[in-house]
Chains A and B, each alone.
Chain A
């Protein structure tokens, strides 16, 4: 089962911390992929927070295609970051890994944030389609203050491969997943964490209700709800749908993916609305043994799980730095100084929330709302 390491902090830290935590969970990932999302970027990106960053991988032909497309749209390259890759046995290096910062096309300079985000999404999808057949362009995210890195291989080796141990790359929120490939093909688009318009998630456990959820999302008429090379991508899109498209507060995500029964709903102060949600969003009930760790555009991180998750994830840390992880050994590696007796293992009704700045942990209880 995939291993998950999310760390949120009030100070910048290196993704190596996530990778070392993943290393302690090594029996749970099989080298079929690692994904990293960095949010709240430091270092050279700190001054570029208003500009969208395109993260991805290109072949030599792909980068030309990408450049000509971005030129055509009017995006102007402001800054390009590439990892200083090293040869590592077993990792097949691709031509060009990048995080490129662009300035918006002139016509978009004074447009609303919503318009800008729609453009970023559309551009990412077009680039994805442009390079899909020959894998000449693979793009993971195109959004301000977000960098995504993904590659097939063992997390520790990938850390070395990307030179992260020597890189000044830092962020305040970093999500990492060590993938254990189950029933889907090894494909970089299947690698967590998934991201869409400021929302990101990573998950472990198989998604038993994948097909009805995919059909529901795909039929919402929203261009971003595509992909689904992994059954876990839907968790991210559900989050986006609930919070961004419908505008509901974050904790209703829990109500939608793991709905209460009727008697339980009656205990809620907002029972009438919750009952509507349960009916109207019935196909989004995940009904599977999943632990979801996610973040929202403001930098709030959370963990929820279905009652069928037999081995819950864990949240723990110290004021200013919290980890949300699939295994406790990862937390021991990342934040050894914490009081372990205060670790939280979210249960059936819990949503654990860590606000930006990682000051404290809140546990929202679904029964009481």
Chain B
């Protein structure tokens, strides 16, 4: 006998193949439609369904089967409309009637390549386990032989330097009348150095971020500097900066980034004659931890009027940045000449440093920079870093964790006696599980002079939904439900830049307290404990051996 309907649904997916399954409660739902209106993926939609119900209406039980049409919320099984688990539906539901539930047995990755297009997304490596940084503990606690400090009352100086630092032997100083004086006649180039807060906001571009998000971050950073006296700095990411900011006195808190697409640099260069302050530094991006060796792409639908103006390009076109700086042929050109060119643009008053992906070749770059007297720092971005758009395979499988990469580079500098001359900036995974202070302090003790954060500040300051279970992660589509990584005004107006700024300030102030709570019991207060490797231990002997720190159990 033939079935009433066909049962050969072989090429369809079931909800169990999807990473998130919507749990919708019929009894709570009042059918207001808010959830379906906000879903960035159209993963849920209102639908009708025929229900068969038994009813008995008389004084005696006389059940009758009744068929009725009801409205429901239905989850799509179209792979293009998968539920990302962002839970914006739960956020707007007045009756707690809906929520996505993570399905650990999903087979999403097997199917998300329709049309031969591999899965692309934003976010970070989907690796929810403990990172190496999370496995480090601060074990050298001052007990009786020296006093632990009072984190609340003692004077702490949590600062670091960004810029090439001359070795003492090369300082242009001489003794005159029993005092040291700077020798103006020496003709020695003194590289510019900034004193900054050791945790900086890493490169996220206007374009990748919505105008409200970027403005919120920028206002927060400015407030921290101007009102709280915390010299927190922020990198622009590739794609320029608003002209008004370039010409303002606040540019000194920002680090414009130049990357392989050179987007935004026409505007920046044109603004130089009108700039009343120098930027904090210039970052040359050679790589990014989340997608090492890969270029960038700002999709056409994100290239709206503001972005087109800032980047100096037409509206509505894809903006690809190549994997490498294509006008450069070698490390000598790419690094030495480019660094010098950028120095020249600001009269050698602004530190210029490269940023690379974490890589086993990082030491080769480092050694090149060591010999370049203009290189102001090296920023290394580990594979737990984030991105606005990349292939899933790049994010999940490419790159080098920051901990051992940083440690190797630092110890290499120590072997050459250059550990104080070329600051290392560590990025990629600091605060992955929310414990930014602990991760940052561990990175300092492994040898970082500064730590750069991206995802953490998006989560803490703007409530980014993304996590290592592939939640949300649609930054690449311009459909960010929080309004953080979108250029759609209907979405980004959800994000109040003042609230973002307020949260940035709260986050850094609380970070500062937590750093003191780490440094104080270890007896450190005057200088950042860079390379204080006897202060930390790992709970795994192999990690301890690799990082050349102690093992505790």
List residues of A whose CB falls within 8 A of some B CB.
Answer: 1, 182-183, 205-206, 208-212, 215-216, 219-221, 245-249, 252, 258-259, 261-262, 269-270, 272-274, 276-277, 279-283, 285, 287-289, 306-308, 310, 369
What is the CB-to-nearest-CB distance from A208 to chain B, in angstroms, rounded to a whole number? 4
Contacts of B496 in A (CB 8 A): none
Contacts of B419 in A (CB 8 A): 212, 215-216, 219, 283
- Complex Cα spacing A221 to B165, Å: 18
Contact of A209 with B522 in the complex, beta carbons under 8 Å = no
- Complex Cα spacing A308 to B178, Å: 28
Choose from B140, B154, B193, B527 the contact partner of A259 (Cβ within 8 Å): B527
What is the CB-to-nearest-CB distance from B511 to chain A, in angstroms, rounded to a whole number? 20
Highest count of chain A CB atoms <10 Å: which of B146, B157, B165, B419: B146
Contacts of A276 in B (CB 8 A): 166, 171, 173, 182
Task: Kindly state whether residue B62 has any CB partner on chain A within 8 Å.
Answer: no
Asked whether A1 and B145 contact (CB < 8 A) given A211-B533, A285-B527, the answer is yes
Question: Which residue of B is nearest A248, CB measured?
Answer: B180
12 interchain pairs (CB within 8 A)?
A1-B145, A209-B529, A216-B419, A220-B417, A246-B168, A249-B180, A259-B527, A272-B181, A273-B179, A277-B180, A280-B166, A280-B171
Highest count of chain B CB atoms <10 Å: which of A216, A219, A220: A219
Contacts of B195 in A (CB 8 A): 262
Contact of A369 with B182 in the complex, beta carbons under 8 Å = no
What is the CB-to-nearest-CB distance from B331 to chain A, in angstroms, rounded to a whole number? 25
Contact of A282 with B146 in the complex, beta carbons under 8 Å = no
Contact of A272 with B531 in the complex, beta carbons under 8 Å = no
What is the CB-to-nearest-CB distance from A348 to chain B, in angstroms, rounded to a whole number? 10
What is the CB-to-nearest-CB distance from B483 to chain A, in angstroms, rounded to a whole number? 39
Choose from B154, B161, B534 the contact partner of A279 (Cβ within 8 Å): B161
Q: Give the 8 A-B CB pairs with smallest separation, nearest first.
A: A219-B417, A273-B180, A206-B146, A208-B523, A285-B527, A212-B531, A280-B168, A287-B526
- Complex Cα spacing A68 to B524, Å: 48
Task: Kindly state whether residue B98 has any CB partner on chain A within 8 Å.
Answer: no
Choose from A183, A216, A307 the contact partner of B145 (Cβ within 8 Å): A183
- Complex Cα spacing A206 to B144, Å: 10
- Complex Cα spacing A369 to B180, Å: 11
Contact of B166 with A288 in the complex, beta carbons under 8 Å = no
Contacts of B416 in A (CB 8 A): 219
Q: Can you add 17 more A-B contacts, CB < 8 Å, to A183-B145, A270-B180?
A: A205-B146, A208-B146, A208-B523, A211-B531, A211-B532, A211-B533, A212-B531, A219-B415, A219-B417, A270-B179, A276-B166, A277-B168, A280-B171, A283-B419, A287-B524, A289-B147, A308-B147
Contacts of A274 in B (CB 8 A): 180
Asked whether A249 and B149 contact (CB < 8 A) given A215-B531, A220-B417, A289-B523, the answer is no
Asked whether A270 and B181 contact (CB < 8 A) given A211-B531, A248-B175, the answer is yes
What is the CB-to-nearest-CB distance from B266 to chain A, in angstroms, rounded to a whole number? 35
Asked whether A281 and B180 contact (CB < 8 A) given A206-B146, A288-B523, A308-B525, the answer is no
Question: Which residue of B is nearest A348, CB measured?
Answer: B155
- Complex Cα spacing A220 to B414, Å: 10
What is the CB-to-nearest-CB distance from A285 to chain B, in angstroms, rounded to a whole number? 4
Task: Kindly state whether residue B167 has any CB partner on chain A within 8 Å.
Answer: yes
Task: Kindly state whether residue B530 has any CB partner on chain A within 8 Å.
Answer: yes
Contacts of A182 in B (CB 8 A): 145
- Complex Cα spacing A112 to B195, Å: 43
Contacts of A210 in B (CB 8 A): 534
Asked whether A212 and B523 contact (CB < 8 A) given A219-B419, A269-B179, A274-B180, the answer is no
What is the CB-to-nearest-CB distance from B221 to chain A, in angstroms, rounded to a whole number? 20
Contact of B179 with A310 in the complex, beta carbons under 8 Å = no
- Complex Cα spacing A281 to B527, Å: 11
Asked whether A282 and B532 contact (CB < 8 A) given A208-B522, A209-B524, the answer is no
Question: Which residue of B is nearest A271, CB measured?
Answer: B182
Choose from B145, B146, B181, B524 the contact partner of A273 (Cβ within 8 Å): B181
Question: Which residue of B is nearest A205, CB measured?
Answer: B146
Highest count of chain A CB atoms <10 Å: which of B414, B526, B532: B526
Interface string of B56-73 (1 = CB under 8 A from A): 000000000000000000
Contacts of B142 in A (CB 8 A): 206, 208
Question: Which residue of B is nearest A279, CB measured?
Answer: B165
How would you classify the secondary structure of chain B's contact residues: helix, strand, loop or mixed? loop
Highest count of chain A CB atoms <10 Å: which of B169, B523, B531, B533: B523
What is the CB-to-nearest-CB distance from A260 to chain B, in angstroms, rounded to a whole number? 10
- Complex Cα spacing A360 to B175, Å: 25
Contacts of B522 in A (CB 8 A): 208
- Complex Cα spacing A285 to B528, Å: 10
Highest count of chain B CB atoms <10 Å: which of A221, A248, A280: A280
Contact of A209 with B527 in the complex, beta carbons under 8 Å = yes
Task: Kindly state whether residue B131 has any CB partner on chain A within 8 Å.
Answer: no
Question: Which residue of A is nearest B533, CB measured?
Answer: A211
Task: Kindly state whether residue B420 has any CB partner on chain A within 8 Å.
Answer: yes
Contact of A272 with B145 in the complex, beta carbons under 8 Å = no
Contact of A281 with B145 in the complex, beta carbons under 8 Å = no
Question: Which residue of B is nearest A272, CB measured?
Answer: B182
Contact of A283 with B525 in the complex, beta carbons under 8 Å = no
Contact of B414 with A215 in the complex, beta carbons under 8 Å = yes
Contacts of B166 in A (CB 8 A): 276, 279-280
Question: Which residue of B is nearest A306, CB measured?
Answer: B526
Question: Which residue of B is nearest A180, CB measured?
Answer: B145
Interface string of B138-174 (1 = CB under 8 A from A): 0010100111010000110100010001111101010
What is the CB-to-nearest-CB distance from B176 to chain A, in angstroms, rounded to a whole number? 9
Question: Which residue of A is nearest B178, CB measured?
Answer: A249
What is the CB-to-nearest-CB distance from A43 to chain B, in angstroms, rounded to a whole number? 35
Contact of A289 with B531 in the complex, beta carbons under 8 Å = no
Asked whether A308 and B149 contact (CB < 8 A) given A277-B180, A282-B161, the answer is yes
Contact of B530 with A308 in the complex, beta carbons under 8 Å = no
- Complex Cα spacing A211 to B173, Å: 28
- Complex Cα spacing A122 to B124, Å: 55
Contact of A281 with B168 in the complex, beta carbons under 8 Å = yes
Contacts of A248 in B (CB 8 A): 175, 180
Question: Which residue of A is nearest B195, CB measured?
Answer: A262
Contacts of A259 in B (CB 8 A): 526-527
What is the CB-to-nearest-CB distance from B402 to chain A, in angstroms, rounded to a whole number? 20
Contacts of A285 in B (CB 8 A): 526-527
Contacts of A308 in B (CB 8 A): 146-147, 149, 154, 523, 525
Asked whether A310 and B526 contact (CB < 8 A) given A269-B179, A280-B168, the answer is no
Contact of B180 with A209 in the complex, beta carbons under 8 Å = no
Asked whether A258 and B526 contact (CB < 8 A) given A206-B145, A212-B531, the answer is yes
Choose from B145, B167, B533 the contact partner of A280 (Cβ within 8 Å): B167
Highest count of chain A CB atoms <10 Å: which of B175, B182, B420, B530: B420
Contacts of B531 in A (CB 8 A): 211-212, 215, 283
What is the CB-to-nearest-CB distance from B277 to chain A, in angstroms, rounded to a whole number? 18
- Complex Cα spacing A262 to B193, Å: 13
Question: Which residue of B is nearest A245, CB measured?
Answer: B169
What is the CB-to-nearest-CB distance from B239 to chain A, in angstroms, rounded to a whole number? 32
- Complex Cα spacing A274 to B155, Å: 20
Contact of B146 with A289 in the complex, beta carbons under 8 Å = yes
Contacts of B534 in A (CB 8 A): 210-211
Contact of B175 with A247 in the complex, beta carbons under 8 Å = yes
Asked whether A249 and B175 contact (CB < 8 A) given A273-B182, A277-B180, the answer is yes
What is the CB-to-nearest-CB distance from B305 to chain A, in angstroms, rounded to a whole number? 43
Asked whether A282 and B420 contact (CB < 8 A) given A208-B146, A210-B534, the answer is yes
Contacts of A307 in B (CB 8 A): 155
Within 8 A of A (CB), among B457-504: none
Contacts of A306 in B (CB 8 A): 526
What is the CB-to-nearest-CB distance from A290 to chain B, in angstroms, rounded to a whole number? 8
Question: Which residue of B is nearest A247, CB measured?
Answer: B175
Contacts of A246 in B (CB 8 A): 168-169
What is the CB-to-nearest-CB distance from B72 to chain A, in angstroms, rounded to a whole number? 64
What is the CB-to-nearest-CB distance from B174 to chain A, in angstroms, rounded to a whole number? 9
